[in-house]
Each structure stands twice: as C-alpha cells, then as structure tokens.
Chain A
Amino acid sequence: MTENSTVAAGDVPQLNPLYLLRWEEPQQAHVMLYPEGVVKLNETAAAILLLCDGQRTAADIVADLNSRYTDADVSAGVYRFLETSHAKGWIRIKS
C-alpha cells in the first residue's frame, strides 16, 4: 500500500478524483468524502489538501502556507502530511 510515498519539492500533488473535499457546516470542519467513508480534517490538514489542485508544486504549497502561518516553518510538517496523504491514497502525484 505504501510503496514509494516520498514527495519531492517539484512534485505536483492532486486530490484523488474519487475524493470529495468540502466544508461541512454541522461538523464545523472540512471533510473528505469517498466511496467507503468520511474523514474529518483538522484545520491544517484541510489547508494543505485544498492546495493540492494539480497546479501547485509541493514547494509552492509550502511557500503559500508559510506566508499564512508565519510563526514557524511549516515545511517538514507539510511534506510529512503529503507523504501520509499519498500513502493513504488521498492525493496523487501528477506526472
């Protein structure tokens, strides 16, 4: 399942088309909906996944988030989350 899930700066992540990511008012959270389940996302996870639009590179995503969350460098956390998301099949790397 988790074969080759490292994400490099130049990779372009994209939400898996089987998944639907959207704001859910009753939960006051973003959720990811897919054929076999629901995942409720915390704020950071949602912020990252919303940027996985098949246009931005991983480096772009880091830069975008760094400009918003200025207190610390988010880089390591973002890569780790992208790798987990990739392993879980939530995102794909566009080739």
Chain B
Amino acid sequence: MPKAGSGLSLDGDRIPMWLVLELTYRCPLHCAWCNNPLDFDNYRNELSTEEWKRVLREARAMGSLQLGFSGGEPLLREDLEELVGEADGLGFYTNLITSGIGLSRERLQVLKAKGLKQIQLSLQSSDRAITDSLVGAKAFDAKLAAAREIKRHGFPMVLNVPICRQNIEQTEEILKLAEEIGVDYLEFANIQYYNWALLNRSEFLPTREQIAMAEAAVARTRARLGKKMTIYFVIPDYFDERPKACMNGWGAIHLTIAPDGSALPCQEARVIPGLEFPSVRDAPLAWIWHESPVFNEFRGDSWMKEPCRSCPEKEQDFGGCRCQAYLLTGNAANTDPVCAKSPQHHLVVDAVAEAVAPGRRHRPIVMRRRDSINTAFMGCGG
C-alpha cells in the first residue's frame, strides 16, 4: 500500500501504479483487526489462474508497476508461484504480503526463482503467547521461522506489525527482534478501523501515553541504527487533526482486485453501500479504471462538500478516507471525521475517550471467523 514517505513521486498520470491482488480470503489465522470483509466466506468463487493472468496483462498494459499478492493468505493458492512468474515476466515489481504460515523453504526457493522481489511478513508481537492469542492460532514460531528463511533467501523484507493497545508497549522488544532478524523495513501499522477492526475498536485503540512511549522507542532506535533499518511509525489517524491522504485519492494510483474479480479503488471500498464494483470477469480493466461509474465516484474533487470544497488542504489529503467517512458519519461524501474541521469530528474524539474511560466495560474481542457474527443480512459478497 502507498505509505506516507514512500517517495511516491509519480505525477497525476492517473495510472493504477499500485495493484493489489487479493488472491483469496481463505486464511489459517483469525486476526481480530483483519481488514477483510466480515462476510469473507462468501468469496469462494475465486478467479482462476488464467483469469488472474489476464488481469496481470491488462494492468501491466495500463502501466501498473508495483504489485502486491495479498489476501487472506496468498500462500493458500497453489498457483501463487506461477502467478509470480507471470507477473515478473511482464515487468511488475512483485511483493508477497503474507502471514508467513505455509512459507516453507521449498516455496521460498521457487518464489525466488520465479522472480519475486520482496516479501512483507506480518508479526504481531515479540512475545509468543501474545502473538498466538492475537491471531487465534499457534503462529509465532512459524512466523519467526519464516522471517529467518526470508532473509536467508536474500529477499528484501518488510515486517508489518499491526499496532493496538495489546502490543504497543512491546515496541522496544519488537524493534530489537526486527533488528536481530535483519528486517529492512519495519512498519508499525496502526490498525485502521474497518470491518473486523471496527467491531473491536474499543478494545484495540491505544492510549495517547502508549503512543508517545512507542514513538520515543522508535526515535531511540532510529538514532542508533541509522540507515540499517527503515522504521515507519504513523500515529493512528484517530489521534490526528488531519486525515490520511487515503490511497493518494480515489481512483488515482491504487487498484485492488478482490478474490471474485471485483475491482476496488481500495480494499475497504465495499463497506460503502450503493456502489457497484465491476468485475474483471465482465469488463476490460481499462474500462473499469477509466470509465466505470464507481472509479469516478470520488475521483478528483468535484464530489466534495464543505468544509473540504473550499479548503486549501484538499490537494494534500483529498478529504481523507471515503470509507471512514461513510462508516462514521453515514455519508461517504462527507469530510473524513478525523479532520478537526469536520462538523462530525467529535465522533472520533468520543471514540478515543470512550476506549480509555475509567471503569469502561470491556467487550469480548470478536475474532475473524466465519461463524463469529451473522452476516446473512449482508447479502452475497461481490
């Protein structure tokens, strides 16, 4: 995903530079912040190998360059290696985004031979018990073994640590572990509150004090390690006065294809009701990207309302995140309520206050499982 400080200097050519293929939503883990849809189990009609290859060719012809294979767990697709080979042959910079479960030495060797350029591994804690309880399975040892194998095979490695109240105080130990593994990029990804994460928001939001401590630990490590390891630490947008420049703007550089072939301007876009996401099964990708109503819905700034419309900062943040605007205010064209100028900013302030209120009643954490919640009312995904 495009990150703040990613040095992404490609101008408004309106090319889907950043392509993410969510190969499957199947996954052996049950992370309670997972940004996959709540009805992930309704997406079993996955694209075939040939269909994915056609997507790759069409996207590359449009100028797509950075490619993430994600999910769910992309390693559950047995054609992953074949797709990596196809993508590399087409000239993509290929990135595997994985939990590490199932990443054997044999598969790494083949992936390397097929031209995979980098691997992003998610890890939740430096502590075995905390990791395993956060992902709902025995995963820590497998993840650590995968991390070491990734480095042994000479891949550039990003370690993604989704940050929440339960692990933020281990920042120092996680930094040490990452350094010891030889991680190239360590990304403290503050949990973004969509889908499963939103269900569990009150249990995951860290406190301001925790964030300040974690930032201090990051600063100390940066000073000590210099360029050896690049560390990203973005404070959660709920604690900011300005929204994130989500996706660099809707339909600007980012394109996600869901397991069933639905084309999405961002992974979360299906949370906004009333939008119809065309499938690569039914329409050429170039039409979907350039012409389809949904990709033009929030493109540019003509859709904006006040306060964004007349705000000088709209070129920098594009009014924030459409999905967050919808989820919190009920209207996707509203200003992202993370912005202090939003008339609904109090929703975010209140959520933070509620999460840390003394004597608050804790809710049980809802793990990402098929039967955790009733999604019958949601209709069929895609």
Contacts and interface: CB of A to CB of B under 8 A. Distances in A.
Given A26-B63, A89-B227, A35 B184 contact: yes
Contacts of B17: 38
Given A1-B226, A3-B226, A31-B65, A26 B6 contact: no
Interface string B55-91: 0000000110110000000000000000000000001
B162 interface: no
Contacts of A33: 65-66, 93, 117
Contacts of A3: 226
B10 A36 contact: no
A38 B158 contact: no
A18 interface: yes
B240 to A, nearest CB: 20
B7 A26 contact: no
A27 interface: yes
Nearest to B119: A35
Contact of B2 (A20, A34, A35, A37): A37
B219 to A, nearest CB: 11
A41 to B, nearest CB: 9
Interface residues of A, number: 18
Contacts of B15: 26-27
Interface of B: 2-3, 6-11, 13, 15, 17, 62-63, 65-66, 91, 93, 95, 117-118, 120, 156-158, 184-185, 187, 222, 226-227, 230, 232
Interface string A17-39: 01010001011000101111111
Contacts of B9: 38-40
Nearest to B94: A33
B10 A40 contact: yes
A36 B6 contact: yes
A83 to B, nearest CB: 14
22 contacts: A1-B226, A1-B227, A3-B226, A27-B10, A27-B13, A27-B63, A33-B66, A33-B93, A33-B117, A35-B158, A36-B158, A36-B187, A37-B6, A37-B8, A38-B17, A38-B66, A38-B93, A39-B7, A39-B9, A40-B9, A88-B7, A89-B227
A15 to B, nearest CB: 13
Contacts of A27: 10, 13, 15, 63
B10 to A, nearest CB: 5
Given A27-B13, A40-B9, A34 B156 contact: yes
B94 to A, nearest CB: 10
Contacts of A38: 7-10, 17, 65-66, 93
Given A33-B93, A37-B66, 17 more contacts: A20-B93, A24-B91, A27-B13, A31-B65, A33-B66, A35-B118, A35-B120, A35-B184, A36-B185, A36-B230, A37-B6, A38-B65, A39-B7, A39-B8, A39-B9, A88-B7, A89-B227
A40 B11 CA distance: 9
A8 to B, nearest CB: 18
Q: Which 5 A-B pairs have the closest CB atoms?
A: A26-B63, A37-B6, A33-B93, A18-B156, A35-B118
Contacts of A88: 7
Contacts of A1: 222, 226-227
A62 B63 CA distance: 33
